Structure 1
Amino acid sequence: DDELVTVEITINPLPNTGTPTPATFCENDLTANSPLDLFGQLSGNDAGGTWTDDDTTGALTGSNVDLTLLTIGVYNFTYAITDSNGCTNSSTVTVTVEDAPVAGTVSESPEFCVSDIVSGQTIDLFDYLNGEDQPGVWSDNTPSNQLSGSILTLDGLAPGAYTFTYDVDAIGSCDDPNMPTVTITINDTPAPTAMATQDFCDAATVADLSATGTSILWYNEATGGNALDAATPLQDGETYYASQTDATTGCESSVRVEVTVSIIPLPNSGGLATNPIIVCNDTTVDLNTGLDGTQDTTGTWTDSSGTVITTPSMYDVTGFTPGDYIFTYTVSAAPCADAVTSITVSIQEPLSSGTSNGDLAFCSTDGTFDLFTNITGEDIGGEWIYNGNSVSNIFDPAVNESGTYIYFIANSCGNSSTSFEVSVSQAPNAGTNGTFTICAADVDTSNNILDLLSVLNDIPDASGTFTNDDSANGFSGNNLDLSLVTPGTYNFTYTVIATAPCTVNSNAIATVTVNDTGAVTIVNASPAFCAVDDAVVSDLDTAVNGTNITWYAEENDSTPLDASEALIDGEDYFAVQNNTTNGCESSTRVQVVVSINDAPTPTLLNSDLELCINDAPTIAELTANITEYNSASNNVVWYDAPTGGNVVTASTNLEVNTTYYAVLIDSTSGCESSIRLDVSPDLTGCGLLVIPDGFSPNNDGVNDTFNIENLDIIYPNFEIEIYNRYGNVVYKGNASTPAFNGKSNQSRLIGGGELPVGVYFYIFNFNDGVNKPQQGTLYLSR
């Protein structure tokens, strides 16, 4: 039989996690119900389990859920227990957050001015809430009876405050207990007060209107329209309307006070007439002529005491004391101020010009005279007349003329005049002191006679006489012969005798000064110059002693010589010196006679002289070829330029293509030739050409090249060819190529390297049209 095995199976009960009850909250109740203890949503559960946040809301702490962290939606939270037997059980609590309506908050409680509300104007109350949900119901709390839904009609509201409450519709079981209330305020300002009729004078503006209130504005319409500018002129009989504005609410009164304007023309008393009234005290006067004619005719005239003048157009001033009288013209027009103009009436009496005390006679040098002293009993205020023109009463014999002088006086009563003769005799006039200065050297037959009257100033009388105060030579009558006057200063007094009514003679002094400068002194009366020095007039200054020397070609010339003018041999010249103080040159001129010395131009003994440059010829060899050369006096000098330049010494080596210039030195005058002899030496006269027979190009500094000294100078057109023993050209040369240094310059034949030691052959072409080519050998040694 099979062996029996018994298996025991134990069934353990699951842990009890309870029965869950779902929790549902309105969105706006979360704060009030938070936190939510989830164990309150279980029944019959065992302890010891743990809660999990199935939706990872982050709101679970232990068994508590922070509902404020949840948004609208459904959330699961699970309670799980695992017992000692390893059995696990769980229960899930569902938390639901439902949407709740929001009634919002009041953003503004607006205020409106009645004057700003237009017909049919409405507002939407929702515009004054923030964050509200719709739909909902508005309540007319006041009531206004102008509310339709959320639309409020403003122009049907009387001034006052109106409240409106909003109740948002519930969503399911959720509602918002908050019901915001919007307050609408309708403000109005009472009309200002003012006099219904306001009077103004002549001209007024809106600014002159009067009303009692705050921030008054004026209109020409009872309602609407634009406020008038303060400067707008008021119109007579026009009606104007005033409003005021409340400083707190800023509202302008919706009702305006009415004012009717009356413009009353200003009274016009006129202006003053152009010509004031001046009358004699024996007539009547029309006071109205003292005004300009623009005055109203309704006015009244009064005198200075206030007495009304009943007949102003025939006002009698007979017998009035002369003087000024004030009369006033007044025009009244209430409520305007009276217009008043006052005029001055000047009342005069007949005047007298007095009687003359006789005719008057003056000398022109007499002092001034008051003409009023020559009349008696005159009234003041007249004028003096001469030759039809008004003149001063102060007569100045030095200025005023002879003739009839009249005192004339006039007023509204007539005129009066008194006249007398005034004669003025001219006082003697010798002029005023004058001076005349001349240089003795400037006196000639054209100006030697001086009229002494011309020396005086201010046009002297011709009737006077001169006296020779200093006994000057050449004086006669009014004239002075300057050619006879010894240099110096002389006074001549001119006197004019006075005749009645003048009593004082007139004198003036003519002062004549003749200046001269001493003659220069002779240092050398026969100055001599070398022609080569190109002597000029300024060089003559060394022949005399003096200051600021001037030279003339002739003794009586008036034009001085230019300092740069060349001197002429054998000519005489005349010198003066100039005094810078008196500006005069010497009246005596000093003569010198000029000699201009010159040496002849040298001549050549041999004009075809040839020298050899290889002989190092010098200037001395050129000197020896001068015909006039005297070795004892060494009378030949050489220069490097045709004029000026530098002296070339006798030992100087001659150079190719160079010109030298020779002069002779005169043994008597020491002068050299003014015209130089130019010599360009021929340095090619070297005879038969000597060609070396070898050279050693080993760079030891000796005979390193096949060189013929100065070959390019002696035969500038030469050509040379050098051949090796095979007949090949290894070198070709002329004046432009380097000397043969043992290297071929014919590389196309032998590569251009150094040539070997040995014998070479040359052909030398002179190319001078005289010599035939020369051939020879040379030895190249290293």
Structure 2
Amino acid sequence: MAKNYINLLRFIILFIFLNFFSSKINAQCAGTDGQKVICDIENPVNESLSLFSLLGGSPVPGGTWSDNNNLKGLDPATGILHPQLITKGGVYQYTYTAPSTAGCTNNKAVVTITIGAFPGVGSQATVCNDSNYFNLFTAFDSNSMGPHSNGQWRNSEGKVIEPSLYIGDIDKKTTLQFTYTVPPVLECSPASKSTTVTVTVLRAPKPGDTQNLILCGTTGLAAYTNLDLNDQLTGEDSGTWTGPGITSETDHNVNLQELFDTSGPGIYSFRYDVLAVPDNFICSNKYSIVFITLEKRLDFTGAKIEVAKDICESEISTATYSAKITQGPDKIPDGTYDVTYTVAGSISGSESIRGFFINGEMNFPISSSYFQQVGKFTINVTNIVSAYSQNSCVDIFNPFSTTLTIYPLPRLNGAVLTSTPTCQNKAGLMQLDAPQLLDGDYRITYNINGDNIATGQTAVIKAVGGKATFEVPGNLNVKSGLSVIIILNIVNITNPTPQCASPANVGGNLTINPLPNATTVNVAVNNYCLNDPVSVAISGLGNLTNAKISYQLSDSNTSTVQTITQAVTNGRIDFVIPAALLSNIGSTKITLLNLTNTVTSCDVNLTNVTDDFILYPLPAAPNVENQQFCKVDEATIANLAPIGTQFKWYNSPTATTPLANTLLLQSGNYYVRETSANGCVSGASMVIVTVSDSPLPVLNSDGQNFCGLKNPTIADLSNNTNVPSTVVWYDAPNAGNLLASSTLLTEQGRYYGFNFPDTGCFSSSYIEVTVTLTSCDDVPNDFFVPDGFSPNGDGTNDSFVIKDIEFLYPDYNLEIYNRYGIEMYRGDKNKPAWDGKNYEKSGIAGGIAPNGVYFYVLHFNKGNKKPQQGRLYLNR
């Protein structure tokens, strides 16, 4: 047992030895704990400290440091500590952890740092009371380390205070002292440490508290024509005003009415400046601003709203909508406005939108969600206000509205198209029964197939109660038979825009009956005596079985339009004209106007289907008078009165053979009878006929010779006869023109003279006179040759002519040459005038003589008078 005890004692000693020496061996990796006491922390040498250098033993470098107190100032990688960053005095530990190398796992050592208390270095500060608060910590000397933060402030009365000092109530220059004390650190000193700071507070200038104004410039400025701006301030020092309407440094009154009238609405600022006292360099000058808002009352009277456009039902899914508000007579200033509007319809709602008035107009979108089905929608603007208005004015506003319409598409679903039979070249009436078609006006497009063909035809229809009609024009119904009418498209034209359209496919038949054949129709009426039945025969009616014919009488017997309807036999109708329509004798015309097939009601107007017939009276013996004739008239039987085909003339009261109408009358007795168209002959009446004559005029000797320069007339010719007062002259012996006494005589003119006394007959014979105008021996032989002419077609001086030369030198001739000696013209009394055109034999092309100088040679050909030469100028 003793042995066992000895062994146990050995084991315990070995265990203690091993554990003791093992701990010592491991501790060497982090070194041994260290410490340092810093009482003069404010010394610049204490700005940086290496903790690693404070470890004992042989610490292994490359480890990491940790701050056991979680303070500032430690770099954990390098172990460099900045003690002056620690904000209060005391004892602080920092642990070094050796690197994880073999044998050094979790090996640590601690360095203890003791920092003495530091209250900072007191100083003096000057501040302005307008900062309201002053932080006493800012009063320390900025060239020294800042004080520790664990101290306490006391005022000059020893009362503990906060470092943030309220100075806003200090109303004059005041100097204050404050003490800052930090608790002791026993390792350095058993007593606390203190420092003193001095703060001088200066009073800032007071610009006063402002009271802004918001006024309606349109209606509310009567009391502000002399506003004292000082009344808009409270608690201010003496200062000066600047702003619109302020005219000097002492001025503090403004006329807001004048300002509004001159500059209009707006926000006007007035600045009040107060200067600091001259020895106050801390407080700055102060100012306050009074804002006076002058608003204008807006008048929206007469404003209107327009929606971009109405649409058709087919556009609902793609349409966008916008509205435009336009100002009324009163201008709405440009700017931002809030508009409230409502939409009333199948979907209703109210919205507010902000937009801009520019040049009196505001455009804004409207949500398409309101417009999802057909109908009328009212957009009503209920309010408009300026977005930045202070509401000082009560605007003049009454709601206004407009309407947007979404029109339905015209629908012909289930429609039926029928017709009434028509005739060739007549309009065909089509009836459209369309239950889904709303009342209104529409334009349809249709095609025609069948016996008649036409495409792209249009018609306007008016639908009422789902029914409408339209006509197929007669010019589309040229052929008889069956036409198929197919409606392809329908457009609603009730409103100018939009005109909603839909395709269609509605068909119906139109029967077209043939017209009667008018080309073969003929009418015939014989002549009848008065009161005899007058029968009319109408033929050429073809295969008609029953017909209606209208006719009219004219000339001696007139009537309104008459109508007969009766069966047709072998293409012919015979009827008797009512006797009441034929009360007058004479020629009467029957005119057929219209032929109607009473089976189909198709009719045709008749053209030039007429016949003339005569109703003759029973003639009485003609009422006659004795008659006189002039021999020169060469009267014949045809000239006797009464005149007419019904009168026949005889040479005796019992003669039966009438005299020929061409038989010349002689003085004597003649007998006349009247024969009617029906062969009735009247009794004979006698007429005494007398045929008279006047003596022939006689021309004086040389009475045909005159001088043309004296402009002789027909009166001069008459004076050269034996009956100057009764002779009359003609330009032809038969059917000539009677010449007035003032008619000028012409050279070699032929005149025919008849004797026509006031009471008598034209002479049956005449004298023929050929006049000469060249008997001018007793007239001076002078004439004028023009020196130029202008053939420009203006009617003045268009030809070169030597006036009257033909009377003095009737055999003259005239030659005209150009400057090259080429003959341009040759004339005489039969060709007296040159019109400026090249002589056809001149050989010069072009036909028109150019402007320039030309030369003439005038040959008199009388009395050995030498030719005359000269020049003339042509200027067009």
Q: Could you say which TM-score interval applies, normalised by the shorter chain?
A: under 0.3
TM-score normalised to the size of structure 1?
Answer: 0.26
